[in-house]
Structure 1
Amino acid sequence: MFDAESVPRAFQDALAFVLPVDCAGCSTPDTALCETCRAALAPRPRALETDVDAPVYAGLPFDGVAARVMRGLKEEGRTALARALAPALAAALARLPGDPDVPPWIVPVPTSRASMRRRGYRVADLIARRAGFVPRHPLRLARQPADQRGLTADERRVNVVGSMAARRAAGRRVVVIDDVSTTGATLGEAVRALREAGADVVGGAVVAATPLRAGGGASFGGPWGEASETHG
């Protein structure tokens, strides 16, 4: 798969002539991500108030440019965009408590087989690697939950209960990561599974999170405004 970020910026205009692209954030032609949209992805980390029994931070609100760029990465196969989203994940991780001399494992929530077949890559893993982290994979899906889209916060929590299991995590300090969080239900299930396996879960971090919406959802330690899109 072509990755524009692997090519020096000086050659991207020429490549755009051969392989034309539009900005993932605003559809400006002949650029993968314009400077205005890059600026809009500057990290704005916030603490999330969720039911997760651990501190959770998000690097950006899942809204506007961030939501469109994430969709480009997840649904359109534009893997180069992971590099632009990586600083938001790094900023969220930096807010978590810990000993810098003993870094925790960075553990993404597991990806379903169907999503992996469709995309060919794991979104949270890819962003973490672009941020300079090495993901670990003690988590696995014990069962496939139903699609979360359209579910209330309570329904999401019930839907994911018992859906994950962990192994070879006993005694490890762990941070759970994901690309987007809506209610924190998926992160909460990951924390449960890891703790049952003996891990010391430091907290959770996501690239982006949806601001509080009618019908239930996570709330934030700082004002991010209303979300214009939702995450499944």
Structure 2
Amino acid sequence: MDSASRHAAPPTGAARLLAAVASAAAALLSLVVPVECAACLTPDTPLCAACARSLRRSTAAPRRVEAHAPSLVTHDGEPLVRAVAAGAYRGELAHALLAFKRHGTPSIAAELASALARSINAAVGVEDPAGVGDPAGVGGRVCPVGVGGPAGVGGLDKVWLVPVPTSTAAFVRRGFDPLGLLLARVSRQGRLPPGTVRAPILRRRSHGVLGLVRAGGQKGLRRGQRRGRVAGSLEVRGAARHGRGAWPAKGTPLTRGARRGTLLTRRAPPAKGTPLTKEAGPPRGNLFRNSRNPGLAGRRVVVVDDVLTTGATVREATRALEDAGAVVLGAAVIAFVPLPEPGHAETSQSADTE
């Protein structure tokens, strides 16, 4: 039986029963907690079919967008960090992102994960491998724009996809990491570019109690305020600085003794009696925090974020990774906030990036 026949096979009795139970539970829940479309407010659905189709159309053709992020270009308009977005932060896409960040609705997550997959695959210059099973219904084909140049980055097995971590205050407020969930979903669906791995190796610098009370993210901040707020806020995790931290893509074989979340190129421990020097073994604590570590030296990475506004957060992530020795090829995001039309005064940004 071929793949198409398998996908077309009717559901089993157990599957029909589960679907009926889920539908009944959703109907009962809607009586207690009313649900409405995040974009058009149609009742009894978190994202109606019409708005879902519109969202797919708006994210079907990822494009280069660093020109819309002042922090990612020079005064002459030359790119400092290349960026690719699936669509503009407006309409159904904006409403879906806000609703998912607030509630983590699975049906909205499926649509946003598809948009993120298209952006990532376009960023590295390959087609989305989802094929006919693409839940976004756009055929799984995108126009390769490539943050690494017209021919893409090449050597995909050496590219790490590094998500921007959520802040402690945002995590405490929501109880989950929206971008982390979406990127993990893309990985589970096998839609990452061949050979790439997601590598959550960035973390927020600790600010103690102040880090918990500084709620509100960057929503409503102007360009200069955003740059000042995120400057020096990110750093590479200690394990990643020693060559560990990437998660193998789905289907990647693990050698004997390898563990999930650990690269297979860990250095062997020094022989018994060998003094622990900078060259002999991995640094302890923060001894060599500011030195370039062989674990990330020359490692090619793509920064992943949800919304690109001024580009301050992506620029800060790039700084942290490059300080650790990585080579940042660019960034892939779900949505970007377009610059105001010429002649309009700069206004506070409305995108909730936290």
**TM-score > 0.5 by shorter chain:** yes
In the alignment, which residue of structure 1 is the partner of 2:232? 162
Q: Quick one: which amino acid aligns to residue 88 of structure 1? A: A
Preserved CA contact (<8 Å) 1:181 1:231: no
Structure 2 SS opposite 1:27: coil
| Partner SS, residue 114 of structure 1 | helix
- Which of 30, 52, 55 is the aligned partner of 1:38? 52
| Residue 216 (structure 1) shift | 6.9
Q: Tell me, yes or no, if structure 1 residue 17 matches structure 2 residue 80.
A: no
Equivalent position of 2:183 in the other structure: 128
CA contact (8 A) 2:36 2:42 kept: yes
**Superposition deviation, residue 230 in structure 1:** 3.2
- Quick check: 136-145 or 87-96, which moved more? 136-145
Is the 2:104–2:178 Cα contact (8 Å) retained in structure 1? no
Q: Does 1:230 align with 2:300?
A: no
Letter in 2 for 1:32: P
Higher strand residue share:
1
Q: Which secondary structure state, in structure 2, belongs to the residue aligned with residue 99 of structure 1? A: coil
Structure 1 counterpart of 2:45, one-letter code: T
For residues 107-129 of structure 1, what are the alpha-carbon distances to aligned partners after superposition, in whole Å with 9 as ceiling and x for unaligned? 11111112112222211111112
- Whether 1:187 aligns to 2:314 is yes
1:223 counterpart residue number: none
Kindly indicate whether residue 346 of structure 2 is the aligned counterpart of residue 215 of structure 1: yes
CA distance in 1, matches of 2:84, 2:347: 18
Q: Which amino acid in the other structure matches residue 104 of structure 1?
A: V
**In structure 1, what is the Cα distance between the partners aligned to 2:109 and 2:156?**
27
Q: Identity of paired residues, percent?
A: 40
Deviation readout 1:56-92 (Å, 9 max, x if unpaired): 0111211111111111111133244211111211222
Deviates more, 1:184-193 or 1:63-72: 63-72
Partner of 1:198: 325
Contact 1:58–1:92 under 8 Å retained in 2: yes
Amino acid corresponding to residue 61 of structure 1 in structure 2? A
SS in 2 for 1:58: strand
Q: Which residue type is aligned with residue 89 of structure 2?
A: F
In the alignment, is the contact (CA less than 8 A) between 2:297 and 2:325 conserved in 1? yes
Distance 1:117 1:135, change over 3 A: farther
| TM superposition shift of 1:46 | 2.1
Root-mean-square deviation over aligned CA pairs: 2.6
Residue 157 of structure 2: SS of its match in structure 1? coil
TM-score, structure 1 normalization? 0.82
Residue 160 of structure 2 corresponds to residue 105 of structure 1: yes
Structure 1: tracts of 5 or more residues without a match: 1-6, 218-226
Letter in 2 for 1:186: T
CA distance in 1, matches of 2:170, 2:352: 15
Q: Is the 8 A contact 1:13 1:31 kept in 2?
A: no
- AA aligned to 2:198 is P
Q: Structure 2: which 5+ runs fail to align?
A: 1-14, 73-79, 124-151, 242-295
> Residue by residue, what CA displacement relative to the aligned partner does 1:121-169 show, whole Å, maximum 9, x if unpaired?
2111111122225632211112568642332212211221111111423
Is structure 2 residue 107 aligned with structure 1 residue 83? no
Say if 2:203 is the partner of 1:140.
Answer: yes
Question: Are the aligned partners of 1:153 and 1:216 in contact in 2 as well (CA < 8 Å)?
Answer: no
Residue in 1 that maps onto 2:267: none
The amino acid across from 1:38 in the alignment is A
TM-superposed CA distance for 1:172, in Å, is 2.2
Q: How does 1:66-77 map to 2 (within 5 A)?
A: 66-77=93-104
Structure 1 residue matching 2:100: 3-state secondary structure = helix
SS of 2:198's partner is coil
Aligned to 1:175: 302
The residue aligned with 1:60 is 87
C-alpha distance in 2, partners of 1:94/1:160? 27
**Alignment match, 1:222:** none
User: Post-superposition shift, 1:199?
Assistant: 0.9
* Greater RCO (CA < 8 Å, at least 6 residues apart): 1
Please name the residue that 1:28 is paired with.
42
Q: Residue 19 of structure 1 aligns to a residue in which SS?
A: helix
